[in-house]
Structure 1
Amino acid sequence: MQYLIYFLVGLPAGFVGGLLGTGGCVLMMPVIRFGFHFDPAIAVGTTLTAVVFTAGSGAYQHIKMGNVDGETAALVGYSGILGVIIGSIVFGYLKSYGKLIDLVVGLAFVLPSIRMLYEGLVVAPRQARLAAVAGGQAVGVTAADAVPQKVPGAPVSKSVLGSVIGFLTGIIGLGGGYALVPSFLYILKGPMKLAIGTSMASFIWMALVGAIFKLYQHVVDIPTAICLGIGAIIGALYGAKFVARVKTATLKALFGAIFIYVAAKYILTYFGIAI
């Protein structure tokens, strides 16, 4: 019965992961950490292993929909492998410090969540009003997302970005969504839907290598990871398809709202406060 519950948890996690390019970890990790009282290190390892399933299925759907810049995904993904290896080694020294892991995970969510909320709730509506006044011709209208082609940026920049995010993934298991999507949007100036699809395609390599290390470090509940992963695969397939029906501003606001809650949950747990 318990594993059926994990499967059901994976469904909405995968849907949101496919929709936002996170792979589902942003929901799965806090649910098993706080809802089922997993050890912080086990929560990281189990979630990252489960996300291998969703990243693969979500990336497949986004590739079919034309939402993936293959060159960028390859550069970020391959360079991210080195970062994941180093980060996983560091994680090996931190895994016995549960509260510290909670604090690091929470802090990692803060900046992207605030930026996404600001963009979705303040900047995007302002641009929409300007577009209406100018007859839809204003700079910054979400039409830029309609025909995504390529994530801007030099190969070196993308490789460095992949290595840094891979390093963070090895430590906290959340590299795909919390860092890749905002990085593609704000550092490389890519369009939203392309950022989401390319994030999924990039992250699969980081998740796979990270999961192998977590298995070696004995911080993965394998049955739970499989149940979460299978449920999340199904959810991710529908989440990826739903991207085309959602406005960019809505995606940003949803992304930010989820992340700000998760950040507060983890940080306050470090200080012994439950929300």
Structure 2
Amino acid sequence: MELGYIVSGLFVGFVVGLTGVGGGSLMTPILIFGFGLSPLRAVGTDLLFAALTKIGGVWSHWHHHTIQWHIVGFLALGSIPSTLITLQILKTFQYHDQQLTYVINLILGIALILTALALSLKGWLINTIKANNSSKVVLIIRHLRSNQDFIMISTIVTGWVLGFIVTMSSIGAGALGSVALLYLYPNLYMNQLAATDIAHAVPLTIIAGLGHWHLGSVDTHILFNLLLGSLPGVFLGSRLSISIPDRAIQITLSTLLMLIGIKFIL
């Protein structure tokens, strides 16, 4: 069984290194469908798995001064209270197994489908936001982005939504967060966007993961074995990503996540 967890960690780490996303989106379904963990236990274990695998990324981006800390702060103003409230909700309904399993599966399915759509539409969104034309959509986007109060409130609300979704499903901190930031802060370079998203995802997943650990829904033995596989997997995936077309990776991952999401809902 330990070998199975190590291989799963290797696979998910490889995908993360290859695409930059997909950690929670793939690991939680694998733990549920592949190893028979309860949804609550799978989510809790994956949250700490995600936090520990992303810490190195924050250190690297911090060293290169690409993290926009004021944006991280606005996101955290929403996500941290949301996470704490969601953990309290989970604690209240922790022993209502059937109802809680249904709710978590539903949120998992929705989060996976939204992640698949976010990956598919990210390229289109980039082109639309940066389009040099006067179409109605572009004009509305430009008008909203010129209002700093709108940007600040929207960032806090984005953090709130991410806090709830991530705590309930362990999914969304990467793909959903990056698409929201892309809309709200189109002048950021892509490395700044990724750095800011990761810098927010780490404390979010740590707080949510520790909350799940307090609830008893983290399996530390499984977590250790997943990390044994994921660390070399991330390295291998990042090396191979240079030789594989981004579009092919994007289509494959989006399709896979969409199918898994539909399975959770049905």
Same structural fold, with TM-score higher than 0.5 when normalized by the shorter chain: yes
- Going from structure 1 to structure 2, the CA distance change for 1:237 and 1:176 (only over 3 Å counts) comes to farther
Contact 2:118 2:176 in 1 (8 A): no
Contact 1:21 1:199 in 2 (8 A): no
1:199-246, Cα deviation, whole Å (9 max, x unpaired): 222100011111111011111111101221343233335556777777
User: What secondary structure does 2:174 align onto?
Assistant: helix
In the alignment, which residue of structure 2 is the partner of 1:168?
Answer: 165
How far apart, CA to CA, are the structure 2 residues paired with 1:71 and 1:239? 31
Q: Does 1:182 align with 2:185?
A: no
Alignment RMSD, CA only?
3.5
- Find 2:217's aligned residue among 202, 216, 219: 219
In the alignment, which residue of structure 2 is the partner of 1:261?
Answer: 259
Identity of aligned residues (%): 24
Unmatched 5+ stretches in structure 1? 128-137, 141-151, 269-275
- Point out the more displaced range, 198-207 or 64-73: 64-73
CA shift for structure 1 position 252? 4.5
Contact 1:78 1:205 in 2 (8 A): no
Amino acid at match of 1:212: L
How far apart, CA to CA, are the structure 2 residues paired with 1:242 and 1:7? 20
Q: Does 1:197 align with 2:189?
A: no
Amino acid at match of 1:203: A
Amino acid at match of 2:164: F
- Going from structure 1 to structure 2, the CA distance change for 1:92 and 1:237 (only over 3 Å counts) comes to farther
Unmatched 5+ stretches in structure 2? 134-145
Q: Does 1:71 align with 2:70?
A: yes
CA shift for structure 1 position 88? 1.4
CA shift for structure 1 position 27? 1.4
CA shift for structure 1 position 249? 4.7
Contact 2:115 2:172 in 1 (8 A): no
In the alignment, which residue of structure 1 is the partner of 2:105?
Answer: 102
User: What secondary structure does 1:176 align onto?
Assistant: coil
Amino acid at match of 1:267: I
Amino acid at match of 2:176: A
How far apart, CA to CA, are the structure 2 residues paired with 1:194 and 1:116? 18
1:17-72, Cα deviation, whole Å (9 max, x unpaired): 34544471111111111011111111111111211211212333444566543432
Matches within 5 A, 1:1-275: 2-22=1-21, 24-64=23-63, 68-77=67-76, 79-95=78-94, 96=97, 97-120=100-123, 123=124, 154-189=151-186, 192-237=190-235, 239=237, 249=247, 252-268=250-266
In the alignment, which residue of structure 1 is the partner of 2:140?
Answer: none
- Point out the more displaced range, 173-182 or 36-45: 173-182
How far apart, CA to CA, are the structure 2 residues paired with 1:3 and 1:56? 24
User: What secondary structure does 2:154 align onto?
Assistant: helix
TM-score (norm 2): 0.76
- Going from structure 1 to structure 2, the CA distance change for 1:181 and 1:249 (only over 3 Å counts) comes to farther
Aligned length: 245
Contact 1:87 1:168 in 2 (8 A): no
- Going from structure 1 to structure 2, the CA distance change for 1:228 and 1:173 (only over 3 Å counts) comes to same
Contact 2:119 2:254 in 1 (8 A): yes
Amino acid at match of 1:15: F
User: What secondary structure does 1:226 align onto?
Assistant: helix
Contact 1:46 1:225 in 2 (8 A): yes
CA shift for structure 1 position 254? 4.8
